[in-house]
Amino acid sequence: MKEEKMMNHGKAVVIKAMLVLPVVWIILTLFNDVRFLDSTIIGLGLLIISYIGGDLVTLPKTGNIVSTIADLVLAYIIVWGGLELLGYTDTVSNSLVTAVIVAAGEYLFHIWLFNNVYNNPNYSTHSGTINKTSAS
């Protein structure tokens, strides 16, 4: 059982990487001349922090809508901070565009997480929250 749960989270991280990294590479490297290595470092930081803080902690407690908004803010801060630390200019617009596109993908990723990783039949895609049921 524990191995299956770990495998599900491994699959989720790979899927999230396929969402986050191409967006960061396209927006930052292709359109804004950020070095590929720099955009990869920013993307990996975003991937790790948002999976742990957003998908494992915030999402199950708050639901899809609140978690997607939190992901938007978190993505903006991480991309902006990474670009600033690495000495790039025009960080606000690059960070905003990247964060909005990542957040749109996160909304759909959260639905997939509830259906495939959390395996929660009480998840309501309408309200975006987990409906708690008593097991007693």
Number of domains in the chain: 1
* pLDDT value at 128 more than 70: no
Report if residue 26 sits inside a domain.
Answer: yes
13-35: average pLDDT: 96
Q: What is the average pLDDT score of the chain?
A: 86
Question: Which distant-in-sequence residues (6+ apart) come within 8 Å of 116 by Cβ?
Answer: 8, 11, 12
Which tens digit of pLDDT belongs to each residue from 67-106?
999 999 999 999 999 999 999 988 999 999 999 999 999 9
Report if residue 110 sits inside a domain.
Answer: yes
Report if residue 72 sits inside a domain.
Answer: yes
C-beta separation of 102 from 61 below 8 A: no
- Element holding 74 (H helix, E strand): helix 64-85
Question: What are the backbone dihedrals phi and psi of residue 125, each rounded to the nearest 5 degrees, phi first?
Answer: -70, -20
Q: Which domain holds residue 81?
A: 2-130
Confidence of residue 115 (pLDDT cuts 50, 70, 90): confident
- The 10 Å Cβ neighbour count of residue 12 is 19
Report if residue 135 sits inside a domain.
Answer: no
What global pTM score does this model have?
0.83
Report if residue 136 sits inside a domain.
Answer: no
107-120: average pLDDT: 85
Task: Return the half-sphere exposure (C-beta side, CA atoms, 13 A cut-off) of residue 39.
Answer: 21
Which tens digit of pLDDT belongs to each residue from 30-54?
999 999 999 999 999 999 999 999 9
